[in-house]
Amino acid sequence: MKLADLSSKNEFTPRHIGPNDNDIQAMLKTLGFASLDEMADKIIPSQIRTDHNFAQVGGGVSEYDLLKQLKAMVSKNKVFKSYIGMGFHDSITPTIIQRNIFENPVWYTAYTPYQAEIAQGRLEALLNFQTMIADLTGMEISNSSLLDEGTAAAEAMFMAHALCKNKANAFVVSPKMHPHVIEVLGTRAEPLGFEMIVQDPATYDFNKPVFGVFFQYPDTEGTVEDYSVTAKKFHDHGALVTASVDILAMTLLTPPGEWGADMVVGNSQRFGVPLGFGGPHAAFLATKDAYKRMMPGRIVGVSVDSQGKQALRLALQTREQHIRREKATSNICTAQVLLANMASMYAVYHGPEGLKRIAQRVNRLAGILADGLTKLGYNVSKEAFFDTVTVTTDKAASIIADAEALGMNFRLVSANKVSIALNETVSAEDVETIWMAFHGGKKTDLSVAAIDDTLKLDLPANVTRKSAFMTNSVFSSHHSETELLRYIHHLQNKDITLTHSMIPLGSCTMKLNATTELVPVSWPEISKLHPFAPVAQAAGLIDMIKDLEQKLCDITGFAAVSLQPNAGSQGEYAGLLVIRKYHHSRGQGHRNICLIPSSAHGTNPASAALAGMQVVVVNCDNLGNVEIADLKAKAEQYKDNLSCLMITYPSTHGVYEEGIKEICEIVHANGGQVYMDGANMNALVGMCRPGTFGADVSHMNLHKTFAIPHGGGGPGVGPIGVGAHLKEFLPKHSLVKEAGPANGISSVTSAPWGSASILPISWAYITMMGASGLRKATLVSLLSANYIAKKLEKAYPVLYKGKSGYVAHECIIDVRDIKKTSGIDVTDVAKRLIDYGFHAPTMSFPVAGTLMIEPTESEPKQELDRFIDSMLSIRKEIEAVENGKMDKENNALRNSPHTAQMLMKPEWNHPYSREEAVYPVEWLRANKFWPVVGRVDNAYGDRNLVCSCPSIEEYR
């Protein structure tokens, strides 16, 4: 054989796709098809099929070649020491956290902890995060992460507006907030008609009533000020006070909770999470207990399980956008769990004393730096500072240039102001190099040691923290590596993830997250870049970003893509603002009606409401399709004000609606644009291009279709693709002009390219699979879903099918009739699956009382069969209840999941055996997952809401 025959271009595809060719043939046979293509012809409506050649995607490369190719690209990047600050600081990721959390698939392949019983590990890590944030900010309650500092501030703005009783529509923002935070606040305020007044809050005269005020603490130039008097003034006028804080500074400064803040937001990045050219990082929002029901995002709460034992769960889920829909005040869904877990583990690793020492060291280095600069004759700000030193000088430009020549980035605050923000990686030599940039690039005769000997540096008493923080024992008992290693593994052992078994979550596409795709995320050429470093230093990564944009355009048929939105919900929001701006540009700014089918994901109506639109619901027929007559009637009724339709395709019911082209035409004929929710893109890639069948804008979830891991509930990336007519309105970023078109909407996230450091995952996935690999992945995902549907339909009716009689890439099975005949409900089935070692499918979305199963192309046939057998075995157990052979209440389904402790109790008062409880099928004897808690009581947890670990004092 020749070399050409021995090297296969597409060798990654069979690693990514679970079933091999024999399995595929067997599955096709079950469905009565001879080939994947015959299946595709039958299932996918012909009017949306494409014969595009996907030249940009290419022919696929091996894993080894991919890494070589990407390394060559990013070696064009220059990794400078960045002292730019603005909420982004280099940090030291403890290697134990890097290896055991950041790079550990048990942590990064987990799903959002909705099934609490198999998620106690990450729920505990998130509870630690909440406790750490609440303690550091001096507040009573924190959520378990938000997307970035800018959007966290915007969430606080929505809260302040909703909570404020004075009906004001304006708010004051200190001009000393980070500019990216001000920009995101402005973006989010405008569509709701909120007026943002950027003015020193201390000078505000209240002629116009305001609902809130925003401080940066310390401010963007580094100054630490006591805001308590100004905060009180705003309270006296009925406004709410928000502080955006530096998390490390909170160990030394009086926390905002002690000077009157109602909400405290910020970014936890500098707690051991890499810069990553802007993200992903976990932001946070902490507030008073009284406002907890208005808090955006997810909150972990303490509850009890069926045995009365303490158990954790996501609390107050009724507050999620899923229930409140267009009345929601937040659209956040996917957050930043993996990064929150890293930050909380960093706090566990260092403990309160360790964190304080890091902060004191950074603060002392900054003091020494400032003293040296003064000795060099510079005008250094005399105000108190934490880690950022600001110099007023007419030589600013040349200082920045000298710094760059020395491999450092300073921040040019304004024409005559330079600032330098230090961080935990900075050494004494680094400070001496910084001085050189202020000395024409030459060595100074200053010495850090000499200044250190004499310098007296104290923060003013009124801003110095006196209160204790992080007093819970978790923050003081895992400081040796052995203990921490065991703690991390103790937690992870409680959770089911993709390392255990398939996670068949409809709409969430839990496919393989290949190791090769993830390796580059840790490379310093990517992880060490500051988002506001000169773009030339990121040239290689930006080449990759542009190429990813091209590939996504090629895949979707859109004219341009923005990678800025850092979750699907943010893509929806950005896309709607783009549509809004388009209408405005044509003198049609009054168009504000957004049509949304009743089956839509909750983020859709929530995003529409936040974009200032009025939601009109369109009915679905009993086959689950959009009722075209109703859509037509409503589009015509609102034609003068119609902004857009938001439609998920394939539908959230898991079918290809035949009418999609006609639906798009109706909307266009009435002056509207079509927004396609692309969460289900896994059923389209390589087969259909939404940009060519009628969609004007669509978001794709890179953390679903394009292999970014779910991280236990984030990070995600939700880029949007748009047609040529909308290209000029894509998001820009006022600090980085290369990040978007000049005429675009202002930024929707803090960082110019959102969560830039995880984009290589999707780029690697697309590049390795190549066009034929991606196409095959789509077909196998259809095959697997239909195979499961076929095998299960006698036991559980499949709720919706397309005209062809087949489902798309997921199927909904109906458990509602079973409830009538047996009393067993959808939760019982979901929890019983845990006894079989599986994570339940999506429960009760989009239809209450059903399960939505999405196997993805990555699951081997054996695993699909194991899942099918488990579901059929569960059906037999239900049958026993139906025909009276098993007690209606006291049965293995109602009592599930079964823990080892339940089994070991001497008394066993159940009409089924212990073996039937935990080994209902044979293969479990060899591979058993033991849940650590029994069924968690949701109602109890919401009634007795506790959202932090108690302090040692409280334990006593």
Buried b (16+ CB within 10 A) or exposed e, 119-148: bbbbbbbbbbbbbbbbbbbbbbbbbbbbbb
The residue type of 152 is A
Should residue 334 be labelled a site residue for ligand PLP when binding is judged by CB under 6 A? yes
* Cα-Cα-Cα-Cα dihedral sign, residues 100, 106, 109, 111: negative
Radius of gyration of the chain (CA): 28
Stretch that binds ligand PLP, among 62-70, 73-81, 172-180, 567-575 (CB under 6 A): 567-575
To the nearest whole angstrom, how small is the minimum distance from the Cβ of residue 773 to ligand PLP?
Answer: 23
Crossing angle between the packed helical segments 396-405 and 428-437, to the nearest 10 degrees? 130
Interstrand relation of 170-173 and 195-198 (parallel, antiparallel or unpaired)? parallel
As a 3-state breakdown, the chain gives helix, strand, coil percent values, each rounded to 5, of 45, 10, 45
Stretch that binds ligand PLP, among 272-280, 434-442, 562-570, 769-777 (CB under 6 A): 562-570
Cβ pair 479, 351 in contact under 8 A: yes
| CB of 124 or CB of 320, closer to ligand PLP | 320
Joined tokens for residue 241: 């006070």
Distance, in Å, from the CA atom of 433 to the CA atom of 429, rounded to the nearest integer, reads: 6
Distance, in Å, from the CA atom of 341 to the CA atom of 319, rounded to the nearest integer, reads: 23
To the nearest whole angstrom, how small is the minimum distance from the Cβ of residue 891 to ligand PLP?
Answer: 33
Query: Mask: binding to ligand PLP, 577-606, rule CB under 6 A, as x and -?
Result: ------------------------x-x---
Distance, in Å, from the CA atom of 943 to the CA atom of 306, rounded to the nearest integer, reads: 16
Stretch that binds ligand PLP, among 182-190, 460-468, 561-569, 940-948 (CB under 6 A): 561-569
Give me the residue label for tokens 């009284």. Answer: 290
To the nearest whole angstrom, how small is the minimum distance from the Cβ of residue 331 to ligand PLP?
Answer: 8
Should residue 569 be labelled a site residue for ligand PLP when binding is judged by CB under 6 A? yes
Question: CA distances (Å), 632 to each of 291, 306, 427, in order?
Answer: 42, 50, 67
List binders of ligand PLP among 235-274 (CB under 6 A): none
Cβ pair 431, 406 in contact under 8 A: no
Should residue 654 be labelled a site residue for ligand PLP when binding is judged by CB under 6 A? no
To the nearest whole angstrom, how small is the minimum distance from the Cβ of residue 825 to ligand PLP?
Answer: 23
Joined tokens for residue 826: 């959808």
Grouping H, G, I as helix, E, B as strand and the rest as coil, residue 307 is coil
Joined tokens for residue 842: 């999506």
| CB of 334 or CB of 673, closer to ligand PLP | 334
| CB of 715 or CB of 934, closer to ligand PLP | 715
Should residue 723 be labelled a site residue for ligand PLP when binding is judged by CB under 6 A? no
Residues 6+ away with beta carbon under 8 Å from 575: 675, 697, 698, 699, 720, 722
Joined tokens for residue 335: 């957050």
To the nearest whole angstrom, how small is the minimum distance from the Cβ of residue 507 to ligand PLP?
Answer: 3
| CB of 128 or CB of 341, closer to ligand PLP | 341
To the nearest whole angstrom, how small is the minimum distance from the Cβ of residue 648 to ligand PLP?
Answer: 5
Number of residues in the chain: 956
| CB of 322 or CB of 530, closer to ligand PLP | 322
List binders of ligand PLP among 886-915 (CB under 6 A): none
| CB of 751 or CB of 949, closer to ligand PLP | 751
| CB of 27 or CB of 688, closer to ligand PLP | 688
Question: CA distances (Å), 30 to each of 39, 336, 647, 855, 900, in order?
Answer: 12, 41, 32, 17, 38
| CB of 183 or CB of 677, closer to ligand PLP | 677
| CB of 841 or CB of 920, closer to ligand PLP | 841
Query: Mask: binding to ligand PLP, 498-537, rule CB under 6 A, as x and -?
Result: ---------x------------------------------
Give me the residue label for tokens 């990555």. Answer: 858
Stretch that binds ligand PLP, among 126-134, 524-532, 564-572, 803-811 (CB under 6 A): 564-572
E-assigned strands of 235-314? 240-246, 263-267, 283-287, 300-304, 310-314
Cβ pair 733, 756 in contact under 8 A: no
Grouping H, G, I as helix, E, B as strand and the rest as coil, residue 412 is strand
| CB of 459 or CB of 596, closer to ligand PLP | 596
Distance, in Å, from the CA atom of 11 to the CA atom of 20, rounded to the nearest integer, reads: 13
Should residue 404 be labelled a site residue for ligand PLP when binding is judged by CB under 6 A? no
| CB of 511 or CB of 601, closer to ligand PLP | 601
DSSP 101: I
Give me the residue label for tokens 């050409």. Answer: 4
Among residues 164, 283, 333, 824, the one that binds ligand PLP under rule CB under 6 A? 333
Among residues 113, 296, 531, 716, the one that binds ligand PLP under rule CB under 6 A? 716
DSSP 527-554: HT--TTS-GGGGHHHHHHHHHHHHHHHH
DSSP 804-845: TS--SS-EEEE-HHHHHHHS--HHHHHHHHHHTT----EESS
Cβ pair 410, 418 in contact under 8 A: yes
To the nearest whole angstrom, how small is the minimum distance from the Cβ of residue 234 to ligand PLP?
Answer: 32
Should residue 568 be labelled a site residue for ligand PLP when binding is judged by CB under 6 A? yes
Stretch that binds ligand PLP, among 35-43, 152-160, 566-574, 814-822 (CB under 6 A): 566-574
To the nearest whole angstrom, how small is the minimum distance from the Cβ of residue 141 to ligand PLP?
Answer: 23
| CB of 114 or CB of 930, closer to ligand PLP | 114
To the nearest whole angstrom, how small is the minimum distance from the Cβ of residue 647 to ligand PLP?
Answer: 10
| CB of 677 or CB of 835, closer to ligand PLP | 677
Of 338, 421, 378, 435, nearest to 129 by C-alpha is 338
| CB of 143 or CB of 896, closer to ligand PLP | 143
Should residue 842 be labelled a site residue for ligand PLP when binding is judged by CB under 6 A? no
Distance, in Å, from the CA atom of 351 to the CA atom of 668, rounded to the nearest integer, reads: 58
* Start-to-end C-alpha separation, the chain: 75
To the nearest whole angstrom, how small is the minimum distance from the Cβ of residue 382 to ligand PLP?
Answer: 45
Chain-centre distance for alpha carbon 290: 26
Among residues 390, 409, 648, 858, the one that binds ligand PLP under rule CB under 6 A? 648
Cβ pair 265, 526 in contact under 8 A: no
Interstrand relation of 388-392 and 379-380 (parallel, antiparallel or unpaired)? antiparallel
Distance, in Å, from the CA atom of 502 to the CA atom of 511, rounded to the nearest integer, reads: 9
Stretch that binds ligand PLP, among 67-75, 565-573, 589-597, 733-741 (CB under 6 A): 565-573
| CB of 677 or CB of 828, closer to ligand PLP | 677
By rule CB under 6 A, what count of residues binds ligand PLP? 15
| CB of 212 or CB of 718, closer to ligand PLP | 718
**CA angle 11-17-23, nearest 5°?**
110
List binders of ligand PLP among 673-702 (CB under 6 A): 677, 679, 701
| CB of 593 or CB of 700, closer to ligand PLP | 700
Joined tokens for residue 197: 């007044």
| Residue whose Cβ sits closest to ligand PLP | 568
To the nearest whole angstrom, how small is the minimum distance from the Cβ of residue 721 to ligand PLP?
Answer: 15
To the nearest whole angstrom, how small is the minimum distance from the Cβ of residue 75 to ligand PLP?
Answer: 32
To the nearest whole angstrom, how small is the minimum distance from the Cβ of residue 22 to ligand PLP?
Answer: 32
Should residue 718 be labelled a site residue for ligand PLP when binding is judged by CB under 6 A? yes
| CB of 138 or CB of 571, closer to ligand PLP | 571
Should residue 321 be labelled a site residue for ligand PLP when binding is judged by CB under 6 A? no
To the nearest whole angstrom, how small is the minimum distance from the Cβ of residue 49 to ligand PLP?
Answer: 22
Among residues 109, 652, 822, 948, the one that binds ligand PLP under rule CB under 6 A? 652
- The Cβ of residue 223 has, within 10 Å, a number of other Cβ atoms equal to 18
- List of residues contacting ligand PLP (CB under 6 A): 333-334, 507, 567-569, 601, 603, 648, 652, 677, 679, 701, 716, 718
